[in-house]
Amino acid sequence: MAGEIVYADLNIRGDSSLTSRPQPPHHLIFQGPCSKAETGTLASHLRRRLCDSPQNSSAGPPGCRLCPLNWLLHGDKCYWLSKESKTWNESREDCSAKSSRMLVIQDQRAMEFIKTITEGKYPVWIGLHLTTSKGNWTWVDGSLLNQTGVSLSAPDTGNSCGVWKENQIRGEICSGTFKWICQREAVLI
């Protein structure tokens, strides 16, 4: 299984007192090396069965990482690229509904990965917006954009949000419609 990504459908039953509907199976992607020493639990069984491949050099810290079906694993994060277009606020709400947030670009490695999945063909919303109170570009996690080496122009409306466009960050009017990228932490098993 060296270098492979394995898909599994797990039917994990929830507490029936909390819901009256059956829960759908969880779709997961597994990648990375894992210890074979653990026994007796579902996690150790999955590790023995699904995580025997060598570590992908770009996959981040050691361990088996998993993402939901249709999400892309890169390092210790899972990424989801929309197929439709929405406004920045609608995109942020969609990511939140997926138990994730809009993309926050934290390093050059993440930027290179985003280049590969968008192929520079179309603009996508990212989790960056211009705060009107202070005029700062702020990520959805509350951190400020490090503008060192980033030239970011925005419309004069003050209602600007971040777009990954032509392999760089640009400002666009937030009411425009683009595809978007959500991200979440991969689950370590």
Rounded average pLDDT over 161-181: 91
**Digit-coded pLDDT (tens) for 52-83:** 443 333 444 567 899 999 999 998 899 999 99
CA–CA distance, 4 with 152 (Å, rounded to integer) = 39
Please give the single-letter amino acid code of residue 88: W
Given a contact cutoff of 8 angstroms between Cβ atoms, the answer to whether 23 and 15 are in contact is no
Percent of the chain, pLDDT > 90?
Answer: 35
Q: How far apart are the first and last CA of the chain?
A: 18
**Digit-coded pLDDT (tens) for 113-168:** 888 888 878 899 999 998 776 678 899 999 988 866 666 666 656 689 999 988 88
Q: Looking at the DSSP assignment, which residues form a beta bridge with residue 161?
A: 129, 172
Residue 39, pLDDT > 60, answer no
User: What's residue 26's pLDDT?
Assistant: 45
- Provide the 10 A C-beta neighbour count for residue 112: 12
Rounded average pLDDT over 20-28: 42
**Domains along the sequence of the chain with CATH:** 1-69 (no CATH), 79-183 (3.10.100.10)
